[in-house]
Structure 1
Amino acid sequence: MKGSRGAALRRARSAALIGLAVAVSAGCSGGDDSGTKGEAAELPARPPGVHSWTGRPCDLLTDAPPAAGFSLGSTTDSASPEAREDIGENGARPLYRRTGCLADLKGPDGAFWKLSATASVYEDPEPARHAYRVKEDLDRAHGRGPEKVHDTAYALPADDGGRPGRTLLLWNGDLVLMVSAYAPHGSTAREVRKDLEQILGNTARRVEDGLRDHDAPSPAP
């Protein structure tokens, strides 16, 4: 009896240690009970989609706050229905249309942040892929240190007159999306990074999903 009781205690202790290790591991990876995680968790990769242009891009952001404790303030649509020419590969000039939203955000403490989202919808996926890769290569060549979010999205630090910020670039099918957010003056990049990541991830997901034609078959990757 004594031996079996000792064995049971050892098994219970071992299970407790394993449970503690798992909990610590989850905490280090950025997860918690509230579901608040970093940028990569906020913006998982999605299958390629087909997207449409809209003249009311800010409407895509009004259904829910961009992050916990934040609220959307005044917004300005910047959407041109005219097709533009891009400089593609081998002299090709693919067409795309651009739409964007500029918005004020109010943080949990009442301070004002700034958010912008610009979506370029191409006539085909391949020119969109090329445009995304060119921008990524330029950012890398200029030492801006792109940080991979997943295979078709990356982030990098940004600045707006001393306001620390971050920019996210995403490619999905025929869409190239750029989202930037800036914290209030006097903030430090380190203290606002988590909020910036959540704002970028949530905004990018909502814009991509709002522009996506959910009835269209996915294009070839």
Structure 2
Amino acid sequence: MKGSGSAALRRARPAALIVLAVVVSTGCSGGDGGGTKGEAAELRVRPPGVHSWTAEPCRLLTGAPPAEGFTLGSATDSASPEAREDIGESGGRPLYRRTGCLADLKGPDGAFWKLSATASVYEDSEPARHAYRVKEDLDRAHGRGPEKVHDTAYALPADDRGRPGRTLLLWNGDLVLTVSAYAPHGSTEREVRKDLEQILGNAARRIEDGLRDHDAPSPAP
């Protein structure tokens, strides 16, 4: 949020630097600067940041391939400018604004994959942290994982009407970001996991960086 909400955003005080790394196979060679090579894209170590809402989140995914050999196809923004109320701790109702993107991806063999991302930008870091922890607890309680990436990021297996996929959820400062990717029908999770992880890593890094207010100083830990 910008304008009147910027002062509140700058008061965010996350507890530690966030290390975001997508879970990769043993022996992964890592990614290049563009995050499109290696067995999976590895997200850089970044300090917590201040983030802004955007009405065109899909634009954050353009400019580079989603993963090695993949191309970004049609994309649809699902951004809502209206602030929403969350159910916070101690009866508080913090505000956040949500923006999202749904996109088709074309694989190296011409098959179509799917990518979706939802970013929630809160008025402060503590409500964002609480929302992330609540989601993590729910996923654990329902036996959906999580597969820990870091203390503030985790991955889950996902399914879209028989299409194998993966979901990455992370928290950075005032931002809670969920990214999911799905392979074509007929794929097996074992066959596509490397590509799914690469797509998730690249998308998460680009969205977080694109929403980050680079003029604002990083909140102190």
2:48 is aligned with 1:56: no
When normalised by structure 2's length, the TM-score is: 0.84
Identify the residue that residue 137 of structure 1 maps to in structure 2.
137
Identify the residue that residue 206 of structure 2 maps to in structure 1.
206
Q: Which amino acid aligns with 1:60?
A: L
Instruction: Please state how far the C-alpha of 1:145 moved relative to its aligned partner.
Output: 1.1
Instruction: Please state how far the C-alpha of 1:191 moved relative to its aligned partner.
Output: 0.4
Identify the residue that residue 29 of structure 1 maps to in structure 2.
27
CA shift in 2, pair 1:184/1:217, >3 Å: same
Q: Which amino acid aligns with 1:95?
A: L
**Does the aligned pair in 2 maintain the 1:164–1:182 contact within 8 Å?**
yes
* TM-align CA RMSD: 1.6
Q: Which amino acid aligns with 2:210?
A: G
**Does the aligned pair in 2 maintain the 1:45–1:150 contact within 8 Å?**
no
User: Which is higher, the Rg of structure 1 or of structure 2?
Assistant: 1
Instruction: Please state how far the C-alpha of 1:29 moved relative to its aligned partner.
Output: 2.6
CA shift in 2, pair 1:93/1:151, >3 Å: same
Q: Which amino acid aligns with 1:109?
A: D
Instruction: Please state how far the C-alpha of 1:152 moved relative to its aligned partner.
Output: 1.2
Greater than 3 Å deviation, 4+ residue runs: 32-35
Q: How many residues align?
A: 193
When normalised by structure 1's length, the TM-score is: 0.84
For residues 91-120 of structure 1, what are the alpha-carbon distances to aligned partners after superposition, in whole Å with 9 as ceiling and x for unaligned?
000000000000000000000000001000
**Does the aligned pair in 2 maintain the 1:80–1:98 contact within 8 Å?**
yes
Moved more, 54-63 or 29-38: 29-38
Instruction: Please state how far the C-alpha of 1:37 moved relative to its aligned partner.
Output: 3.4
Q: Which amino acid aligns with 2:29?
A: G
Paired with 2:125 and 2:131, the residues of 1 have a C-alpha distance of 10
Instruction: Please state how far the C-alpha of 1:44 moved relative to its aligned partner.
Output: 3.3
For residues 50-75 of structure 1, what are the alpha-carbon distances to aligned partners after superposition, in whole Å with 9 as ceiling and x for unaligned?
00000000000011111000000000
* Structure with more helix by fraction: 1
Moved more, 139-148 or 166-175: 139-148
Instruction: Please state how far the C-alpha of 1:151 moved relative to its aligned partner.
Output: 2.1
For residues 7-38 of structure 1, what are the alpha-carbon distances to aligned partners after superposition, in whole Å with 9 as ceiling and x for unaligned?
xxxxxxxxxxxxxxxxxxxx943117975133
Q: Give unpaired runs (5+ residues) of structure 1.
A: 1-26
Identity %: 84
Identify the residue that residue 75 of structure 2 maps to in structure 1.
75
Instruction: Please state how far the C-alpha of 1:220 moved relative to its aligned partner.
Output: 3.6
CA shift in 2, pair 1:33/1:139, >3 Å: closer
Q: Which amino acid aligns with 2:40?
A: G
Paired with 1:208 and 1:219, the residues of 2 have a C-alpha distance of 15
CA shift in 2, pair 1:33/1:111, >3 Å: closer
Paired with 1:116 and 1:33, the residues of 2 have a C-alpha distance of 22
Paired with 1:132 and 1:181, the residues of 2 have a C-alpha distance of 19
